[in-house]
Amino acid sequence: MEFVSHPLVKPRAVERRSYQLALAASALLKNTLVVLPTGLGKTVVALLVIASRLHKLDGKVLFLAPTKPLVEQHAFFLKRTLNINEEEIVSFTGEIPPEKRQRMYEKARVIVSTPQVIENDIISGRLTLSDFVLAVFDEAHRAVGNYSYVFIARRFVEESKNPLILAITASPGSDPERIKEVVKNLFIENIEIRTEYDPDVRKYIAEKKIEWVKVDMPEELEKAKEAFEKVIEIRLKRLERLGFDVDFSSKKELLTLQELVQAQAVESGDQVYYEASSILAEVLKVYHAVELIETQGVEAAKKYLKRLLKEGRSRGSKAAKNLLEDPVFREGIVRIAKIKDEHPKVNKLMEILEEQFEKNPDSRVIVFTNFRDTAEKLLKIVSQKFPASKFIGQAKREEDAGMSQKEQLRVLEMFRRGDVKVLIATSVGEEGLDIPETDLVVFYEAVPSEIRAIQRKGRTGRGREGRIVVLITKGTRDEAYYYASLRKEKLMYDTVYRIKYELEKEIEKERLEKAETKTLLDFIASPLIYVDSREMKSGVVKKLIELGAKVKVEKLDVGDYVLSDRVAVERKTVEDFLESLINKERDLFGNLINLKKAYPKALLIIEGNGLYTKRNVNPNAVRGALSAIAVDIGVPILFSANESDTAELLLTIARREQEYRERPVALHSGKSKRTLKDEMEYIVSAISNVGPVIAKNLLKEFQTIERIATASVEELMKVKNVGRKTAERIRKLMSTKYDEADKIFIEEESDQINSFDEAKN
């Protein structure tokens, strides 16, 4: 066996494979998306590119992966293979405090992290990307929509003095628009593809045997399924009577219809759309029950229906309550409750495992399933005969606490050692796990996604011959899902090859558009905006940075955004605003009063749609609250459509304050104590037509507020930036008796109205 020879790769650490060297050489020339099947060493390609960049350039490398186990896995691999000080390779997954991360960034040369951590640290100013010479995006197909990869890639290209991007994935998907979005979001200029059938790859691939094992659905389950299908049929007929096309063939199409109907309901306010939306919510709940019955079995269906019953009986969704009142739906529940035998897939799985371990007692097996309930059930059964463990995500779901990162890593290590021989995994086990020599992969159910199917199959056939078994219930969506994934996998490669050849023109067009945009942005100043740290979870902050604002994250005493020394903003989504009217603990009015005390120009932005339709809040109560805020508290209310619209609005106000009115940004607080100097500046700057700049000029000239108060108009006009109008205003303020102030104000207003009328005539 030959090994890679490079000054920054440890001797005899990495096998030399020609296709990996070719991919790395190509990736060093321009931003590249590498599409390589699971198990063929995408991380090795990344290692070769990292070693070359660090050897030739003085800089740092950012290696991003979507999950914590992947981050730890990549960091471990790089420490084992990269010939630099191990302390210079650091990994972050959120557990390390921000202040400590900032110190570690300075010393590290290679940073491996989940993207959310990096995004937060960029936004908060703890990390800049100017010294980074390479960014690696693992599982690059995730770089769509609002995922953190998109933001980080943009900042990297803008900030780095010498940027290069390497994106790696086993499966970018078959949707051409989605692939193009990934290419655009990661600034890809070149696509490199290898499949298991390419000549330079084929010799490294062990044989994979794929078997389709079909089982019959038991009669009792079939009858229960028919009852639920009847519930769906009744509701689809109601939708047809309302004028909607219900000819759909998949859950995805059903979800798309629901999304369109909900959007129409909000836009038009037509009751028909609200009724249709409610019906579709019921259909989706029952549809999921049918899917569980067909593909998972009795116990999974029972658990789901139990949660649905609980939801309907509590203050849950209207859809759940309506279903519980349907006698046909209740009949289906009764039928499921009476079934004691499990789905035949369970017995078939045990047969397959017994056969595998009889043939090879030291086998490693992964069983993939879509649902945690099924994973739990299978674990109970499988562990009675074989050393088994579940492998699920970290998120907590009702009674399921999930698995911590430490638990995940511990289970993977036990699986590698052989202490655990059967790993029962949900989707968290599909992406990138370094589990060599897995002998058998079982799909407990087929998946319609080509991405997930490719990743599951990639778990076997790495170091030795592998076997893949797909369990299919005859005559159900299992069959449809499996053939859909095969069709999409073929389509995926066809699509990627086509986009590869189109890419050069697309990139050139993108470069021209970017150049034009940058030229335009050069003429626009970048205002400073203070942001409350709790707003980091929203997309508003990212959008502000994308629009060119200088964002500084602080823990603000009042408000969410400070735009100048006098303007601060409280932001509420429609849901938050309505919740504050229901929940007495959320003192919105008190917060706005404090904001008004701290900033003369306090604003409230309400973001989103459905102010009078979402939640069970009387519209008159909403109107009353809006009136109290605007009239009684004196805080103007602005409305925005979404996070992007909010960011645009904040930026417009900040520019108006800081550029046109030349007002600085200053944090005010009712909690922290101002210095005497701050108090003096604050008092003088509060005078009409006098801002912070003129206030400082006046105090430097006269030294005390008392001397400013007694100065003549002519003396005041000698101060820089103080004109006659401002000087006369100061004198009037300082010499007018309190009891006569209202009378003088009315006279001034009358004079202005008369002047306006004369000018108009």
CATH fold match for the domains 219-338 and 676-760? no
Q: What is the model's pLDDT at position 498?
A: 84
Tokens linked to 722: 């103080």
761 has a pLDDT exceeding 50: no
Tokens linked to 152: 């980080």
Q: How far apart are CA 482 and CA 474, in angstroms?
A: 12
Residue of 92, 84, 75 whose CA lies nearest to 51: 84
Average pLDDT score over the chain: 83
Half-sphere exposure of 322 (CA within 13 A, CB side): 15
Residue type at position 403: M
Which span out of 138-142, 326-330, 548-552, 554-558 was modeled with the highest average pLDDT?
138-142
Q: What is the model's pLDDT at position 39?
A: 75
Q: How far apart are CA 458 and CA 41, in angstroms?
A: 11
Among the listed ranges 123-127, 625-629, 631-635, 668-672, which one has the minimum average pLDDT value? 668-672
Quote the longest CA-to-CA distance of the chain: 104
Distance of CA 372 to the CA centre of its chain: 22
Q: What dotted CATH number matches 528-660?
A: 3.40.50.10130
Percentage of the residues of the chain whose pLDDT score is greater than 70: 86
- List CB contacts of 716: < 8 A, sequence separation 6 or more: 698, 708, 722, 726, 727, 730, 731
Look at the block and give the residue holding tokens 């932005």.
Answer: 605
pLDDT tens track for 460-480: 444 456 788 888 888 777 766
CATH top-level class of 676-760: mainly alpha
pLDDT tens track for 164-199: 999 999 888 778 899 999 999 999 999 999 887 788
Distance of CA 422 to the CA centre of its chain: 32
Q: What are phi and psi of 524, to 5 degrees?
A: -105, 125
Cβ atoms of 320 and 285 closer than 8 Å = yes
Which span out of 497-511, 554-568, 738-752 was modeled with the highest average pLDDT?
554-568
User: What are the residue ranges spanned by the domains of the chain?
Assistant: 18-202, 208-215+344-466, 219-338, 528-660, 676-760
542 has a pLDDT exceeding 60: yes
Q: Identify the DSSP state of 343.
A: P
| 757 burial level (CB within 10 Å; 0-12, 13-18, 19+) | exposed
Q: Identify the DSSP state of 740.
A: G
758 has a pLDDT exceeding 80: no
Cβ atoms of 289 and 323 closer than 8 Å = no
Q: How far apart are CA 44 and CA 39, in angstroms?
A: 11
Residue of 220, 473, 229 whose CA lies nearest to 335: 220
Q: What are phi and psi of 398, to 5 degrees?
A: 50, -110
pLDDT tens track for 433-448: 556 567 888 888 766 5
388 has a pLDDT exceeding 90: yes
pLDDT tens track for 1-51: 789 999 999 999 999 999 999 999 999 999 999 998 877 889 999 999 999
pLDDT tens track for 340-372: 777 788 889 999 999 999 999 988 899 988 888
Look at the block and give the residue holding tokens 């090795």.
Answer: 44
Q: What are phi and psi of 688, to 5 degrees?
A: -55, 135
Buried b (16+ CB within 10 A) or exposed e, 383-392: eeebebbbbb
Q: How far apart are CA 448 and CA 735, in angstroms?
A: 80
Tokens linked to 730: 């100061």
Look at the block and give the residue holding tokens 């109008």.
Answer: 725
Q: 219-338: which CATH architecture? A: Up-down Bundle (1.20)
Q: Identify the DSSP state of 15.
A: B
pLDDT tens track for 270-280: 888 888 888 88
Q: What is the model's pLDDT at position 669?
A: 64
Q: What dotted CATH number matches 18-202?
A: 3.40.50.300
Confidence of residue 753 (pLDDT cuts 50, 70, 90): very low
Alpha helices in 170-218 (DSSP H): 176-185, 199-202
Look at the block and give the residue holding tokens 């504050």.
Answer: 580
Alpha helices in 245-326 (DSSP H): 251-268, 271-295, 298-313, 318-324
Angle between helix 692-702 and 676-685 (nearest 10):
120
The string of DSSP codes covering 646-684 is HHHHHHHHHHIIIIIS-PPP----SSSPPPHHHHHHHHH
Residue of 252, 74, 59 whose CA lies nearest to 161: 59
Q: What are phi and psi of 640, to 5 degrees?
A: -130, 155
CA distances from 207 to 195, 270, 465, 466, 468 (A): 14, 59, 5, 6, 11
757 has a pLDDT exceeding 70: no
Q: What is the model's pLDDT at position 175?
A: 82
Q: What is the model's pLDDT at position 451?
A: 46
Q: What is the model's pLDDT at position 563?
A: 94
Q: Identify the DSSP state of 427.
A: G
CA angle 305, 307, 308 (to 5 degrees): 60
Q: What is the model's pLDDT at position 74?
A: 93
531 has a pLDDT exceeding 80: yes
Residue type at position 186: L
Q: What is the model's pLDDT at position 645?
A: 94
User: What value does the mean pLDDT take over residues 287-295?
Assistant: 84
CB atoms within 10 A of CB 529: 25
User: What value does the mean pLDDT take over residues 575-581?
Assistant: 89
pLDDT tens track for 404-416: 777 887 888 898 8
78 has a pLDDT exceeding 80: yes
Cβ atoms of 83 and 68 closer than 8 Å = no
Confidence of residue 159 (pLDDT cuts 50, 70, 90): very high
Q: 208-215+344-466: which CATH architecture? A: 3-Layer(aba) Sandwich (3.40)
CB atoms within 10 A of CB 219: 8
User: What value does the mean pLDDT take over residues 93-106?
Assistant: 85
The string of DSSP codes covering 265-277 is HHHH--HHHHHHH
CB atoms within 10 A of CB 443: 27
Tokens linked to 197: 């059938």
Q: How far apart are CA 16 and CA 24, in angstroms?
A: 12
Q: How far apart are CA 167 and CA 344, in angstroms?
A: 42
Confidence of residue 315 (pLDDT cuts 50, 70, 90): low
- pTM confidence score: 0.61
321 has a pLDDT exceeding 80: yes
By DSSP bridging, strand 165-169 and strand 132-138 are: parallel
Q: How far apart are CA 511 and CA 142, in angstroms?
A: 23
Strand partners, 569: 561, 603
By DSSP bridging, strand 32-35 and strand 190-193 are: parallel
Cβ atoms of 156 and 129 closer than 8 Å = yes
Q: What is the model's pLDDT at position 709?
A: 87
671 has a pLDDT exceeding 80: no
